[in-house]
Amino acid sequence: AQTVTQSQPEMSVQEAETVTLSCTYDTSESDYYLFWYKQPPSRQMILVIRQEAYKQQNATENRFSVNFQKAAKSFSLKISDSQLGDAAMYFCAGADSNYQLIWGAGTKLIIKP
């Protein structure tokens, strides 16, 4: 069975600084997909970034990038130049060869102006 662990219930960062959110994904599958979703105060869940496990190159989307370490089962999200609009709950999730996602408990990100 897959498990997703987010060990940081809350993180804070100064506006314009960089912050890294941690996630570990444990699975026996060799091929899988990892996602970071953002849930702002509006509670609308939005995809931030996706990583395919077979790809060695880390995914990047503008100010958001991942550091995927397959052997360590680590999938961290780096947010550069943090903005006030980045304040949200961030959820890590994983999926293998089906359409079900397994979710972490989430990390609340606070941006200090």
Partner 1 sequence: DGGITQSPKYLFRKEGQNVTLSCEQNLNHDAMYWYRQDPGQGLRLIYYSQIVNDFQKGDIAEGYSVSREKKESFPLTVTSAQKNPTAFYLCATVSSSGVAGYNEQFFGPGTRLTVL
Tallying the residues shown for the chain, one arrives at 113
Q: Which of 58, 70, 78, 101 binds partner 1 (CB under 8 A)?
A: 101
CA distances from 39 to 19, 48, 71 (A): 17, 10, 28
Residue 32 touching partner 1 (CB under 8 A) = yes
Tokens of 16: 């314009």
Q: Is 97 in the site for partner 1 (CB under 8 A)?
A: yes
59 sits near partner 1 (criterion: CB under 8 A): no
Sign of CA dihedral 80, 86, 87, 89: negative
Quick one: 3 or 18, whose CB is closer to partner 1?
3
AA letter at 4: V
Contacts with partner 1, residue ranges (CB under 8 A): 4, 6, 9, 32-33, 35, 42-47, 50, 52, 91, 93, 95-101, 103-106
